[in-house]
Amino acid sequence: MTEFVFTYHGGQKPSTPEEASESMKKWQLWAARLGDALINPGHMAMDTIVLGENDSKNQPSSNPISGFSIIKAENKEAALELLKSCPHLVHGGTLEVSELIKMD
């Protein structure tokens, strides 16, 4: 099995406590459907900064991440199929998916 990290970008935050509760239920249901394929449910992120080798100043990212998770799948196509039902996509967000390479 191959591991994939996917980062969340954009999307709309719930505007009421009721929307937040409903959104959390959708996330929990989706995570439960992934089962053992969900290796790390991840974390939310904020205040993404871009730092280059010769930068003396930190710059905000033009495409900041709002979180990440890690799944395992047979291949990239299978990973993408698992992610098609991610609740983040319903709220106008996008996902970037990358294969993780084990370093020996």
Work out the pLDDT band at 89, boundaries 50, 70, 90. Answer: very high
Residue 28 has pLDDT above 80, yes or no: yes
pLDDT of residue 27: 92
Class of domain 2-49+61-99: alpha beta
Domain range annotation of the chain = 2-49+61-99
Strands (DSSP E) found in the chain: 2-10, 38-44, 49-50, 59-60, 65-73, 93-99
pLDDT 10s digits, 33-66: 999 999 999 998 988 888 877 776 778 888 899 9
pTM exceeds cut of 0.75: yes
